Amino acid sequence: MQKRFAGIDIGSRTIELVVVDESGKIVTSLQADTGFDPMTAAKALIHDVPYDRIMATGYGRNLFEISFDTQTVTEIKAHAIGARAFFPDVLALLDIGGQDSKAISLFESGKVKKFEMNDRCAAGTGKFLEIMAKTLGFDIESFGREALLAEKELSISSMCTVFAESEVTSLIAKGKNRREIARGLHTSVIKRAAGMINRVSSDGDIVFTGGVAKNPCMRHFLAETLGRTVLAPEDPQLVGAFGAALLARDIRDIM
């Protein structure tokens, strides 16, 4: 029987589990909300999934390491490995998740060359878009599609979630078009993300991962702003867990 290797990415909003076989093919992938108790959620997720070795990543990796006595890898390296498995030649990566974002540049070999992470607050992350979608009365799944339908954008000056929210509220009160406001909000997140990517990598294709990469408006305008091709894997949220699973496969010392 083939061996199975798992990667678990314990993020602040969601947990992803990916299991690969010896050839690195994904055989199982699951997702759950992190909730208030990440370890219970993680335990539930791996409960019925057979694997020979697991590697943890994401902000909850150290807790998982203690509870399950496994090895860990940072989300930076896990994403780099996962992204390269999807797009073998790519040298730059942008990940925007629930509460953080990061830009990574890679050497040709796939090793991490340089990375940047966002500051402590939620500005420019999935959380920001989520709150703004709610304020505007869109659901998060359709937020990007709606924003893409706007004919122009209304610029939003504040990146701080709290201030941006009141800015949006007052624009709505003035009777402004919700889609145009939505477009403006996307643009402000894109500007920030573009700045981050530009600081680590100046040209070439970019792999876009994390929950926010599912948003078509983000993908479209990110590519337009940067003048670079933006590639997104089919399920961009799995990339970290996938990378961790591949790494679990590749460490031979314990076997």
Closest CA to 129 of 146, 143, 147: 143
Interface with another protein in residues 65-84 (CB under 8 A): 73-77
- Minimum distance of another protein from residue 120's CB (angstroms): 6
CB closer to another protein out of 74 and 225: 74
Cβ atoms of 60 and 10 within 8 Å: the answer is: yes
CB closer to another protein out of 144 and 243: 243
CB closer to another protein out of 111 and 134: 111
CB closer to another protein out of 117 and 223: 117
- Minimum distance of another protein from residue 113's CB (angstroms): 8
Q: Binding of another protein at residue 62 (CB under 8 A)?
A: yes
Q: Binding of another protein at residue 228 (CB under 8 A)?
A: no
Q: Binding of another protein at residue 223 (CB under 8 A)?
A: no
Q: Binding of another protein at residue 59 (CB under 8 A)?
A: yes
Among 36, 108, 109, 120, which residue sits at the site for another protein (rule: CB under 8 A)? 120
Which span (27-35, 110-118, 136-144, 228-236) binds another protein, by CB under 8 A? 110-118
CB closer to another protein out of 62 and 155: 62
Q: Binding of another protein at residue 64 (CB under 8 A)?
A: no
Residues near 253 by Cβ (< 8 Å), separated by ≥ 6? none
Interface with another protein in residues 170-209 (CB under 8 A): none
* Size of residue set near another protein by CB under 8 A: 15
Write a three-state SS string for the chain. CCCCEEEEEECCCEEEEEEECCCCCEEEEEEEECCCCHHHHHHHHHCCCCCCEEEEECCCHHHHHHHHCCEECCHHHHHHHHHHHHCCCCCEEEEECCCCEEEEEECCCCCEEEEEECCCCCCCCHHHHHHHHHHHCCCHHHHHHHHHCCCCCCCCCCCCHHHHHHHHHHHHHCCCCHHHHHHHHHHHHHHHHHHHHHHHCCCCCEEEECHHHHCHHHHHHHHHHHCCCEECCCCHHHHHHHHHHHHHHHCCCCC
CB closer to another protein out of 73 and 132: 73
- Minimum distance of another protein from residue 118's CB (angstroms): 9
Q: Binding of another protein at residue 147 (CB under 8 A)?
A: no
CA distances from 57 to 17, 71, 180, 244 (A): 10, 9, 37, 7
Among 27, 32, 39, 112, which residue sits at the site for another protein (rule: CB under 8 A)? 112
Q: Binding of another protein at residue 117 (CB under 8 A)?
A: yes
* Binding region for another protein (CB under 8 A): 59, 62, 73-77, 100, 111-115, 117, 120
